[in-house]
Homo-oligomer: A and B are copies of this chain.
Amino acid sequence: MKVQDKNYRTIWIKDEDEKVISIIDQRFLPHRFIIEDLHTVSEMVHAIEDMHVRGAGLIGAAAGYGMYLATIEAGNRNSFDHILASADALKATRPTAVNLEWAVNRQLNAIVQGKTANERITIARKMATLIAQEDAEFCRRIGIHGAAIIEQISKRKRGKAVNILTHCNAGWLAFVDYGSATAPIYEAFERGVDLHVWVDETRPRNQGASLTAWELMNQGIPHTVIVDNAGGHLMQHSLVDMVITGADRVTLAGDVANKIGTYLKALAAHDNGIPFYVALPSSTFDWDIHDGVKDIHIEERNPDEVKYIYGLCDNEIKKVLITPLDSPAGNYGFDVTPARLISGLITERGICLANEEHISKMYAENVKEI
């Protein structure tokens, strides 16, 4: 997608040197656009751990490219041990990210087929590119399926701007390209649909205010940043036509774990008869569980993310304390939106209802026989 009118992905093999991986260092967005070059596995491990890159899709792709860097380093050292050690190091960066383990294992299974160091490098480069390409392609398809819904609403409104509310960043910055929740928005905008996006700031880490707003601004899409408290009021006054969010994990029954606060927006959408869609590549499904509220463990994160906020001050990025120093804070990362509040799931294969029957039909090969 566009940054200052130039096309980018979130991660790529550097044009000038195919032994180097370039990423957008997202820690400084929206205030600074910094491209970082990664030369070694340990630099990639650090980039994932320290959240230079984040988001399920992008973390998977980064791990794929990390394994490619591992084969280059292993070639120099003529050692397969280094490849295995790198796999472990990459997997350990963000233990809860399922895409990470999946991408590393996929690379290991491929690389092991190579007979020489050079063959392994070639295989790993191809596989890393494939993983990234698949991620982008799945998001592109989500965009096409989702754009159809936006077009329908646009027709019903006789071309008047479609107001879409989104929470957190399920944008291209969380994937390799397009994003999940944003892909339908980008696609519909590309097709000429008049639209406007309400961007929830998404406390505590403000991924909406910092990342989604930045994406939309660079794409030239009309948008307005709002506090997480505002969506209900907007929905009561018909200022929201649909909600699209991403997902961190979706159960077979259609319950959706996503960034904390998603559930509150789903309740408000339901109370006001507004369609609430969740966009996700199928890798986000957890085929083994049903009841999301009961069975998905919600991570508690560092309370300092609640007590302190980062922002730009005197042209530097600084953090400020917003609570009494001694007041305790609680920091729950995600919540679960029950399937009953969800109008549909937008996946790379199409749109399905958030229930076991429809999900099982669309992804029959993934669902285990009971």
Chain A interface (Cβ within 8 Å of chain B)? 30-31, 198-199, 201-204, 206, 209-210, 213-214, 216-217, 223-234, 236-237, 259-261, 263-265, 267-268, 271, 293, 298, 306-314, 318-324, 326-332, 334-336
Contact = CB atoms under 8 A, between A and B. Distances in A.
B236 A336 contact: yes
Nearest to A198: B330
20 contacts: A30-B323, A30-B327, A201-B322, A209-B323, A210-B323, A213-B327, A217-B327, A223-B327, A226-B332, A228-B228, A228-B261, A232-B261, A232-B263, A232-B264, A233-B332, A309-B311, A310-B320, A311-B321, A312-B321, A320-B320
Contacts of A209: 306, 322-323, 327
A224 B326 contact: no
B268 A233 contact: no
A313 B307 contact: no
Contacts of A314: 318
B335 A217 contact: no
A330 B31 CA distance: 20
Most chain B beta carbons < 10 A, residue from A199, A209, A268: A209
A230 B237 CA distance: 24
Nearest to A309: B309
A299 to B, nearest CB: 11
Contact of A236 (B228, B263, B311): B263
Contact of A210 (B237, B259, B322): B322
Nearest to A337: B232
